[in-house]
A and B are shown apart, each in its own frame.
Chain A
Amino acid sequence: MTIDIKSLTIIQALEGMRNKKFTAVDLVQGCLANINKYNDDYHVLLTVVDEAVLLTKAKEIDKTDYSLPLSGIPIVLKDLFSTDGLRTTAGSKVLENYTPVYDATVVTKLKAAGAIIIGKANQDAWGHGSSGENTDYKPTKNPFDPSRVPGGSSSGSAVAVSLGMALAGTGTDTGSSVRLPAAFCNLVGLKPTYGRVSRYGIIAMASSFDTIGHITKTVSDNALMLEITAGKDPYDATTSHCPVAKYTQLLSSTPKSITVGIPKEYMIEGIDKKIQKSFEETLSTLTKLGFQMKEVSLPHTNDAMACYYILVPSEVSSNLARYDGVRYGNSRQSFGSEAKRRIMTGTYALSAGYYDAFYQTATKVRSLVKQDFENAFRNVDVIVAPSSPSLPFKIGEKADDPVKMYLSDVFMCPVNIAGVPSLNVPAGFVVGLPVGIQFIGPQWSEEKLFAIGAVYEHTNKIRPVSQSDQ
């Protein structure tokens, strides 16, 4: 039976298999068909698992009663997730021929839940970028307009879901990288609280910022993915004991009145007029849903960026030091220019940094940014913000508007500095291109974000699938 993976959700797929409407083999074949159709043009997946292997796995699942939570669900992993026996490149030429000998914790969990790993997704090399253009391989294209960027760095993960190559894509978000591709591809993307999901086996970019998140078509799909992957890991000392809620069961538990904060520091001149209009429509929708709007202030927003640009490159430069070509990988000559730039920047910041207490100042400013959010959340339940000040831009178009560049960082990065969760939900289309909205909450409030996201999602009309299908 041919299934249209592009319009199927995980929940529907599980129901379909459990009600014997179709099989796991059907799902895999549907994904493979889309891979064959789109991968060469859109450069979505860097590695695809062998068809015979996939079908064998699917057949095994088909012998069960599909009781595992992700039985037979095809997923793709961002190519910085270590997969035992499956090439893992981090989007870089340095690891062009690297095959891990172990699985990341998240991979182990997904496999144990019955998921089928279809392949490894293209990305900005090492996570360095927010457009997808910084891959050392061919850049992934936006499914709604292939001349435009899909957002990054988890570019392939988002496009794979949009083009029906998988039902979910995993990613990492260090300063935008799950939320922005989700926004640019009309998908749901969660950046959870830092420490919610294990980083063990995930190729590190900036250790105190990297957060594992998932990209799916719906909020309920996303809630299910987080239920499987979240939790304390003895192999990752930065994961929290905070119990993992049954996110899927709490989706309809929105409290009666929600106060939504709008940060005044974000609402400055420079946002694309069409985005501004879309954002106002979202606020209007939220008001109609009974949410109260309130202005909040995040006074250290500007300082947050200085803090981000000291701390992140510093950690990056250190995390990329292990790629010395001794035990694995090509030599450091194979680093792309963006990676080299970040390594140089970080090395310089640390060299000038700790001795002169700049690093410490940056970590103090980090405390201030965290406090900003904590203070705001005393007065509001969630904060809402656009996911991007502009629409997906053309591939190769150099960003020349400093205000737009600043704003795109501002909408995304402070969340990573404060370690708080943020959920991107599709907010509609503008001139045929997707726009996303972010719901930001206090630490460990993922269930609240999912509940609000679900309510908002429900009010939107059914979204059109990717342009290539129209």
Chain B
Amino acid sequence: MKQSSLTSNDIDHISTLAHLFLTDDEKSLFAIQLSAILDFISKLQKVSTTNIEPTSQITGLQNVFREDEIDTSRMLSQKQALANAPATYKGYFQVKAIFGE
């Protein structure tokens, strides 16, 4: 990533990945603001991290599992599952048609 700033195509691509629909103003603004990330990235590249282990869990925990048991206490009824849905049909969540399935 050696560009100095993001193009309008870049912003379109990212907004598609992010499933966001931006206004033209937002697109121009973000093109500038997102370029700031590149500064952070280049700062990071300057830090010496040879022989340093990455930290993925700040607690140091590992191997946290649950037993293969059924937990009825958290299960939701169909009514609860659908309670906040904008559109439902006969127990299903309803969305705009997706073709190609």
Contacts and interface: CB of A to CB of B under 8 A. Distances in A.
Interface of A: 97-99, 101-102, 194-195, 208, 234-235, 237-238, 240, 300, 302-303, 305-307, 309-310, 313, 317, 321, 324-330, 332-333, 335, 337, 340-341, 343-345, 347-349, 351-352, 356, 358, 360-368, 370, 418-419, 443
Interface of B: 1, 6, 11, 14-15, 17-22, 26, 30, 33-34, 37, 40-41, 43-45, 47, 49, 52-59, 61, 64, 66, 74, 76, 80-81, 83-86, 93, 95
Contacts of A337: 26
Contacts, number: 140
User: Looking at chain A's contact residues, is the secondary structure mostly helix, strand, loop, or mixed?
Assistant: helix
A309 B40 contact: yes
Contact of A208 (B11, B17, B45, B57): B57
Given A328-B84, A349-B41, A370-B58, 17 more contacts: A99-B84, A102-B74, A208-B58, A234-B66, A238-B59, A306-B41, A310-B40, A310-B41, A326-B86, A340-B26, A344-B11, A351-B14, A351-B17, A352-B1, A358-B44, A360-B54, A365-B49
A362 B19 CA distance: 25
A361 B47 CA distance: 9
B81 to A, nearest CB: 8
Contact of A327 (B6, B61, B93): B93
Contacts of B45: 358, 361
B20 A340 contact: yes
Contact of A356 (B1, B56, B84): B1
Given A328-B85, A352-B1, A310 B44 contact: yes
A235 B55 CA distance: 22
A325 B86 contact: yes
Given A344-B34, A351-B17, A368-B49, A306 B44 contact: yes
Given A238-B59, A362-B44, A332 B37 contact: no
Given A238-B59, A370-B55, A317 B18 contact: yes
A364 B49 contact: yes
Contact of B41 (A303, A328, A358): A358
Top-9 shortest CB links A-B: A419-B58, A328-B84, A363-B54, A364-B49, A195-B59, A306-B43, A306-B40, A347-B18, A237-B64
Nearest to A324: B19
B22 A340 contact: yes
A310 B58 contact: no
Given A327-B93, A348-B34, A364 B54 contact: yes
Name the residue in B19, B22, B58 with the highest tally of chain A Cβ atoms < 10 Å from its Cβ: B58
Contacts of A366: 54-55, 58
A326 B14 CA distance: 22
A327 B84 contact: yes
B64 A344 contact: no
Nearest to A363: B54
A332 B85 contact: no
Name the residue in B26, B34, B40, B80 with the highest tally of chain A Cβ atoms < 10 Å from its Cβ: B40
Contacts of A341: 30, 33
Nearest to B17: A347
A365 B58 CA distance: 12
Contacts of A343: 18, 20
Nearest to B79: A101
B13 to A, nearest CB: 8
A307 B18 CA distance: 22
A364 B53 contact: yes
B44 A344 contact: no
16 contacts: A97-B84, A208-B57, A313-B37, A325-B86, A328-B84, A330-B86, A332-B19, A340-B30, A341-B30, A344-B14, A358-B41, A358-B44, A360-B54, A361-B47, A365-B49, A368-B52
